[in-house]
A and B are shown apart, each in its own frame.
Chain A
Amino acid sequence: MEYTLEANNIIKNYGEYRALNDVSIKVPKGSIYGLLGPNGAGKTSLIRIINQITMPDAGEVLLNGEPLQPKHIQDIGYMPEERGLYKSMKVGEQCLYLAQLKGLSKKEAKSRLEHWFEKLGMTGWWNKKLQELSKGMAQKVQFIVTVLHEPSLLIFDEPFSGFDPVNANLIKDEILELSEKGTTIIFSTHRMESVEEMCDHIALINKSNLVLSGKLSDVKQQFRSRNYTVSLIADQPQDTFSKVPAIYEPQKTELKGLDHTLDMNIKLPESQTIAQAITQFTSLGELTHFSEIIPSVNDIFIKTVEQDG
Chain B
Amino acid sequence: MDKLWLIIKREYLNKVRNRTFVIMTFVSPLIFVAVAVVVGLLTSVNNDTVRKVAILDETAQFSNLFEDTDRTDYITIDNSIEQAITASNEAGYYGLLHVSSDNGKLGEITFYSNDAPNESYINDIERTIEKKATEANLITSGIDLKKLDDAKVDKTIKLQNYLGVQSSKKVGYVKMIFGGAAGYLLMMFIIIYGNMVMRSVIEEKTNRIIEIIVSSVKPIYLMVGKIIGTSLAGITQFLIWLILGLILYTVAISFLGIDAMSSPSTDIATQQLQDMDQMELIINDILQLPLGTLVLCFFIYFIGGYLLYASIYTAIGAAVDNETDTQQFMLPIIIPLILAMYVGFFTVMDNPEGTVATVFSYIPLTSPIVMLMRIPFGVVSWWEILISVVLLYASIIAVAWLASKIYRVGILMYGKKTNWKELYKWLKY
A73 touches B14 (CB 8 A): no
Query: Does A98 lie within 8 Å of B212, measured CB to CB?
Result: yes
Q: Is A51 an interface residue (CB 8 A)?
A: yes
Inter-chain contacts of B425 with A (CB < 8 A): 15
B352 vs chain A, min Cβ distance (A): 47
Query: B429 and A84: CB pair below 8 A?
Result: no
Known contacts A51-B215, A101-B216; decide if A85 and B207 are in contact (CB<8 Å): yes
Supposing A48-B412, A97-B10, A101-B6 touch, asked if A85 and B214 sit within 8 A by C-beta, the answer is no
With most chain A CB atoms within 10 A of its CB, the pick from B212, B217, B412, B414 is B212
Contact of A87 among B207, B211, B218, B408 (CB under 8 A): B207
CB pair B6–A80 under 8 Å, yes or no, is: no
CB distance B207 to A84 under 8 Å? yes
- Asked if B127 is at the interface of the complex by the 8 Å CB criterion, the answer is no
Most buried by A among B6, B209, B414: B209
Interface size class of A (residues with CB under 8 A): 20 to 34
A100 to B207, CA, bound (A): 20
Chain A binding surface, main DSSP class: loop
Taking CB atoms, residues of chain B closer than 8 Å to A89 are 14
Q: Smallest CB–CB gap between A79 and chain B, Å?
A: 8
Q: Does B143 contact A (CB under 8 A)?
A: no
A43-62 CB contacts (< 8 Å) to partner B: 48, 51-54
Q: Which residues of A have CB within 8 Å of B132?
A: none
The yes or no answer to B242 lying at the interface (CB within 8 A) is no
Check B412 against A85 for contact (C-beta < 8 Å).
no
Cβ-defined contact, B212 with A83, below 8 A: yes
**B208 contacts the other chain (CB 8 A):** yes
A82 B208 Cβ-Cβ under 8 A: yes
Residues in A whose Cβ lies below 8 Å from that of B10: 97
Which residues of the partner chain A approach B215 to less than 8 Å between Cβ atoms?
Answer: 51-53, 73, 76, 78, 80
- CA separation between A73 and B221, bound complex, in Å? 15
A82:B414 contact, CB within 8 angstroms: yes
In the complex, A156 Cα to B428 Cα: how many Å?
29
Q: B276 in the interface, Cβ–Cβ < 8 Å?
A: no
Instruction: Please give the distance in Å from B109's CB to the nearest CB on chain A.
Output: 71
Given contacts A73-B215, A102-B216, contact A97 B412 (CB under 8 A): no
Which residues of chain B have C-beta atoms less than 8 A from A80's C-beta? 208, 211-212, 215
Structural contact, A101 and B213, CB atoms closer than 8 A? yes
Q: State which of B14, B204, B217, B219 has its C-beta within 8 Å of the C-beta of A101.
A: B217
> In the complex, A199→B414 CA distance in Å?
29
When distances are taken between beta carbons in the complex, the residues of chain B under 8 Å from A76 are: 215
Task: Give which listed residue, B209, B217, B219, B428, contacts A85 with CB less than 8 A.
Answer: B209
Min CB gap B223→A, angstroms: 14
Chain B residue nearest to A146 in the complex (CB) = B212
- State which residues 94-118 of A face B: CB under 8 Å: 97-98, 100-102
State the CA gap A98–B10 with chains docked (Å).
11
A83 touches B429 (CB 8 A): no
Q: Do B208 and A73 touch across chains, with their CB atoms under 8 A apart? A: no
Q: Are B216 and A83 in contact (CB under 8 A)?
A: no
A88 to B209, CA, bound (A): 12
Which residues of A have CB within 8 Å of B428? Answer: 15
Tell me the minimal C-beta distance from B183 to chain A in angstroms.
34
**CB closest chain-B residue, reference A70:** B218
**Contact indicator per residue, chain B 213-236, by CB within 8 Å of chain A (1) or not (0):** 111111100000000000000000
Min CB gap B247→A, angstroms: 31
B170 at the interface (CB under 8 A from A): no
Residues of B within 8 A of A78 (CB): 211-212, 215
A87 to B425, CA, bound (A): 32
Give the distance in Å from the alpha carbon of A52 to the alpha carbon of B218 in the complex: 8
Cβ of A48: which chain B residues have Cβ within 8 Å of it?
412
Let me know if B131 is at the binding interface, CB within 8 A: no
Determine whether the beta carbon of B208 is less than 8 Å from that of A100.
Answer: no
Most buried by B among A48, A53, A54, A98: A53
The smallest C-beta distance from B204 to any residue of chain A, in angstroms, reads 8
- CB distance B209 to A53 under 8 Å? no
Interface residue? A36 (CB, 8 A): no
A88 to B18, CA, bound (A): 9
Name the distance in Å between A130's Cβ and chain B's nearest Cβ: 9
Q: CA A145 – CA B10 in complex, angstroms?
A: 17
List which B53-107 residues lie within 8 A (CB) of chain A: none
Question: Could you show 25 A-B contacts with beta carbons less than 8 Å apart?
Answer: A48-B412, A53-B412, A54-B408, A70-B218, A73-B215, A78-B211, A80-B211, A80-B215, A82-B208, A82-B211, A83-B209, A83-B211, A83-B212, A84-B207, A86-B14, A86-B204, A86-B209, A88-B18, A97-B10, A100-B3, A100-B6, A101-B213, A101-B216, A101-B217, A102-B216
Closest 10 CB pairs of A and B: A84-B208, A101-B216, A80-B211, A51-B215, A84-B207, A78-B215, A82-B208, A84-B209, A53-B214, A102-B216
Other contacts beyond A70-B218, A84-B207, A86-B204: 16, CB < 8 A:
A15-B429, A48-B412, A73-B215, A73-B217, A76-B215, A79-B212, A80-B211, A83-B211, A84-B209, A85-B209, A97-B10, A100-B3, A100-B6, A101-B7, A101-B217, A102-B216
**B residues lining the A interface (CB < 8 Å):** 3, 6-7, 10, 14, 18, 204, 207-209, 211-219, 408, 412, 414, 425, 428-429
